[in-house]
Chain A
Amino acid sequence: MTAVESDKMTTNTSTLPHSRPALPRIVTDAMPVVVMAVGGLAAFWLFPNDLGLLTRILAAALFVMSLDMVLGYCGIATLGHAAMFGTGAYAAGIVAVNWVSDPLALLAVGGVAGGLIALATGALILHARGLTLLMLTIAVAQIVQEVANKARDWTGGSDGLSGIDPAPVLGLFRFDLYGRTSYLFALAVLIVGFLVARRIVRSPCGLACRGVREEPLRIAALGGSPRRYLVSMYAVAGVFAGIAGALTAITSGIVGLDSVGFSWSAEAMIMLVLGGTGRLYGAVIGTVAFMAIHHILASTDPFHWMLFIGLFLMGIVLFLPGGIASLSARVLPLVKGGR
C-alpha cells in the first residue's frame, strides 16, 4: 500500500520543482482554492435549503484534512483523531457558554486546545509505530471521552453541552435560522485552513515528515529526529482538528460526546481514504462525496441506507484504491496521449 501511495504522491504533488512541467505552478496551486471557493459559493446558491448539512460537511472536511496531515503526510495510523476535534469543540463550547462568544476567538480557543492535547498525547505515544500506535490513539480518545463524560458540570456529560450562542461574526453577521452565515463562515475557515495546511506540509518540517513516513532510519542517519518531526506535525494537525471542532460547536450550538467518539474518528478515516491520502484536497473531496452520498441515501431510504453506503465504499476500494482524487492521476495521462 505504501509503495502505491508514494508513487501517487510523486506524480501528484506540485511541490517538487521537477514534478509537473506542463502547468505552471501558480495554476496548479491556485486551482484547488478556486474550485473550493467557486464550488462552495455555487452550492450556497444552488442549495439554499441544505445549508445546515453543507456547513457540517465543511467543518468535517477541515477535520479530515487535519487527519490527512497526520496519516497522509506522516504515516501515523490513528483511530483517535476525534480526541483533538472533541477537545477543541468542548473548549470552544465551554468558553462560549461561560465567557466569550466571539466566533473568531472561539476558533482560536479550539485550535489552542486541540494543539495542546495533540502535543501532550503525541509526545507520549509517538514512540510507537503501527498497530501499537493505533491502539494507543484509540486509548487516548477513550480517555478524553471518559473525562468529558465525567466532567458533567462543565461538559453536560451525555446530555451534551448546549446553550452555545455565538456573537455575530466580526460583529456584523448574525448566525441565522437558514444557516447562511454559518455556511459562509465555515467556507472561509476551510479555505484559509487549506492554504495554511498546504504551506505547512510544504515547509521543511512537512517534507521531513514525509521522509519519516518513507524511511525513519534514513532521517535519523541524516541527523534529524523522526519523533520530533512527528510530534510537531501531530500537534499542528491537532490545531486544525481543534479548529474544526470549534467550528462545529459554533455552527451547531451544541457539543455531544459523539464528537470525541470512536465512530467519528473511524468515519473521518473512511472519508480520507475515500478521497485519497496525502493531498489535502483529497480530504475535501472524500468528505463531500461521503457525506453527500450518506445524506442522499439516508433521506431516500432512512431504514436501509447503511447497506448501500457499504456497497459504495467497497466499490471505491476495489476499483479506485487510491481514492477519488487519484482519478485525475489515472485519467490525465490517457488524455495527454498515454504518457
Chain B
Amino acid sequence: MSGTLRGALMGAVFTIALGTGTAWAGTIKVGVIAPFSGPFATVGKTFKEGIEVYQAQHGKTVGGDTVEFIFKDLDQANPAQSKALAQELVVKEKVGYLAGFFFTPDALAVAPLIDEANIPCVIFNAATSAITEKSPRYVRTSFTLWQNTVPLAQYVAKQGVTKVATAVSDYGPGIDGETAFKKTFEAEGGRVVDSIRMPLKSTDFAPFMQRIKDSGAQAIYAFLPAGPTTLAFAKAFSDTGLKAQGVKFYGPGDITQEPDLPALGDAAAGIISTFNYSQVHDSDLNRAFVAKHKELFGSSDTVTFTSVGAYDGAHVIYKMIEATGGKSDGLKAVEAVKGMTWESPRGPLKIDPDSRHVTQTIYLRVTEPKDGKLQNTEIAAFPNQPDYGFKVGK
C-alpha cells in the first residue's frame, strides 16, 4: 500500500472517528469504562445490569439507530490506563459516547480527550464535585458527597444534637464529606467537637472510638469506603459500647449500600444515612425496575446506587442520541439534556444546567432488619437537592 493511499485511508478513518460518519442509520456505540474484574468487579456488574435493564425496558434502538454498549475493564483506579482505554474506544471502536467511571481520577483523566474529540461523557458514579468543572462535556447521574451530606447535617442539627464528631477515611471523598458536614452543621449552630481522619487502610478502629468517647460527642458523622473497612468500623462502634451509650451513627448512604448489608449484619442496624437511592424505595417505577432486574438476572439483592446511576445514565445517553439525530456532536448533545427532567426509579431527577450534575431527592434512611434481612428504610425525603459542592473548591 502506498503512502498516499494509506494517508487517505487514515484521513477517512479519522474523519469518521470525529463524527461525520455516523450520520446514516446504523449502530451507535457507547464505551463504558468501569471495574469488571478484581475487588470492585461488583460495581461494573451493577453498571452492566443497570444498562441491560434499561435496554430491556426501552428497547435497543433510538430513531432507527441501534445503541451498542462496549465494556472496557479498568480493575482499579488507574488514570493512565483509563485514558488509554478511552483513546482506544474513541479512535478504534469509534464510540460516540463515553460512560461509566467508578473512581474520580479515572473520570478526570479523559477530560482532554472528550474535549478534543467532542464526545459527551456520562459519569455513572465518580463523585468528586470538581469533575464536571473540568470539561463542559461531562454529565453526571450519580451523587456527590456534598449532595448527600448537606441535608444530613441540617437534619442532625434539627434533632437537637449540638456536639458531633466526624470520622472519615483520609482520602478525597472522606475529606469532602468532613468539610461539607462541618460547614453545614456549624452554620446551623452545632459544633463539631472532633474531626478524625483515619488512614484508608486501617482495620483497627478501637483508638478512634476512644477519641470519639473522649470528645463527648452525642453523634458521629462517618464516611469510609464501602466494604470491609466500613464493616470493621461499624463493628467497633457497637463493640466499644458507643452504640449502647446512645451515640447516634450518621453517614452518607454509601456505607450501608445494599450488597454490603448481609456482611454488615446487626452492627449496621440503626445507622441513619442519607442517600439518593434505596432498593426498597416506594414507587411503581422502582418496583418495575427491581422486578425486571430479578427477571433478567435471577436476583435483585445487589441492586444499589450504582445500578440506578447506570440506568439513569443510559436514559441520558438515549436522550442525547435522540436530540442529535444519531450524529455525534458532544456539545449539542450535552446542551440538549441541560435542564432535562424525568422520573427515575429513585424519584424525580433534573440535570442542573450549570453543574451538569443531577439534582435529585435525597432520602433519610434507617438501616433495619425486615423479613429476615437488612434494608434501608426511607423515613424522610429532602427534594431538589443540588450539588452543593459545585465550584466550592477543596
In the assembled complex, B105 has its CB within 8 A of some CB on chain A: yes
B72:A253 contact, CB within 8 angstroms? no
In the assembled complex, A326 has its CB within 8 A of some CB on chain B: no
Given contacts A159-B128, A162-B109, A256-B77, contact A150 B170 (CB under 8 A): yes
Neighbouring B residues of A56 by C-beta, 8 Å: 80-81, 84
Given contacts A48-B10, A157-B171, contact A258 B77 (CB under 8 A): yes
Inter-chain CA distance A302–B173, complex, in Å, is 27
The one of A51, A150, A256, A263 that contacts B80, using a Cβ cutoff of 8 Å: A256
A302:B108 contact, CB within 8 angstroms? no
Q: Beta-carbon contacts of A298-325 to B below 8 Å, as 1s and 0s?
A: 1100111110000000000000000000
A152:B394 contact, CB within 8 angstroms? yes
B87:A179 contact, CB within 8 angstroms? yes
Neighbouring A residues of B36 by C-beta, 8 Å: 302-303
B84:A53 contact, CB within 8 angstroms? yes
In the assembled complex, B247 has its CB within 8 A of some CB on chain A: no
In the assembled complex, the CB of B381 is this many whole angstroms from the nearest CB of chain A, namely 30
In the assembled complex, the CB of A154 is this many whole angstroms from the nearest CB of chain B, namely 12
Within 8 A of B (CB), among A166-199: 176-179
The one of B37, B81, B86 that contacts A302, using a Cβ cutoff of 8 Å: B37
A52:B84 contact, CB within 8 angstroms? yes
In the assembled complex, A55 has its CB within 8 A of some CB on chain B: yes
Inter-chain CA distance A259–B170, complex, in Å, is 18
Nearest to B85 among chain A residues (CB) is A52
Neighbouring B residues of A259 by C-beta, 8 Å: 80
Question: How many B residues touch the partner, as a band?
Answer: 35 or more
A178:B14 contact, CB within 8 angstroms? yes
In the assembled complex, B200 has its CB within 8 A of some CB on chain A: yes
In the assembled complex, the CB of B109 is this many whole angstroms from the nearest CB of chain A, namely 4
In the assembled complex, the CB of A270 is this many whole angstroms from the nearest CB of chain B, namely 15
Inter-chain CA distance A248–B108, complex, in Å, is 16
Which residues in B have some Cβ–Cβ distance to A below 8 Å? 10, 13-14, 36-38, 41, 44, 71-73, 75-81, 83-88, 90-92, 104-105, 108-109, 111-113, 116-117, 128, 130, 134, 170-173, 175, 199-200, 394
With A56-B84, A176-B116 given, name 9 new contacts (CB 8 A): A52-B88, A149-B171, A152-B394, A157-B172, A158-B171, A160-B79, A178-B87, A248-B80, A257-B105
Which residues in A have some Cβ–Cβ distance to B below 8 Å? 48-53, 55-56, 146, 149-150, 152-153, 156-160, 162-163, 165, 176-179, 248, 251-259, 263, 298-299, 302-306
CB-defined A-B contacts under 8 Å, sample of 30: A48-B10, A50-B88, A52-B84, A52-B86, A149-B200, A157-B171, A158-B104, A158-B171, A158-B172, A159-B172, A160-B77, A160-B108, A160-B109, A163-B134, A176-B116, A177-B90, A178-B14, A179-B91, A251-B80, A252-B109, A253-B109, A254-B79, A254-B105, A254-B109, A256-B80, A258-B77, A298-B73, A302-B36, A302-B37, A304-B37
Nearest first, the 6 A-B pairs at minimum CB distance are A160-B105, A52-B87, A49-B92, A302-B73, A52-B84, A252-B80
